[in-house]
Amino acid sequence: MRVELAYVPTADRHAAVSSRDDTAAPDVAVVFDVLRMTTTATVLVDAGVRALWVVADVASARLEAERRGALLFGERDGVALPGFDGGNSPLEVRPQRVRGREAVLCTTNGSRAVEAAGALPVLLGAVVNAAAVARRLRALAPARALLLCAGTDDAVSLDDVVGAACVLHALVASVPDLDLDDASALALRALEGPGDVHALIRRAAHARRLERIGFADDVAFAARRDAFGVVPERGPEPGSAFAGHRGTDGAP
Give the pLDDT of residue 42. 98
pTM above 0.85, yes or no: yes
| Region 37-55 average pLDDT | 98
Ramachandran assignment for 194, one of left (phi > 0), alpha (psi -120 to 50 degrees), beta (any other)? beta
pLDDT tens-digit series, residues 133-180: 999 999 997 899 999 999 998 999 999 999 999 999 999 999 988 999
* Angle of helix 205-212 versus helix 158-172 axis, rounded to 10: 120
122: amino acid identity, one letter? V
pLDDT tens-digit series, residues 177-217: 899 999 999 999 988 866 799 999 999 999 999 999 999 99
For the chain, what is the largest distance between any 2 Cα atoms, rounded to a whole number of angstroms? 49
CATH 3.90.1560.10 assigned to domain 2-10+25-229? The reply is yes
| Region 109-135 average pLDDT | 96
Give the pLDDT of residue 14. 46
Give the pLDDT of residue 150. 97
* pLDDT higher than 70, residue 248: no
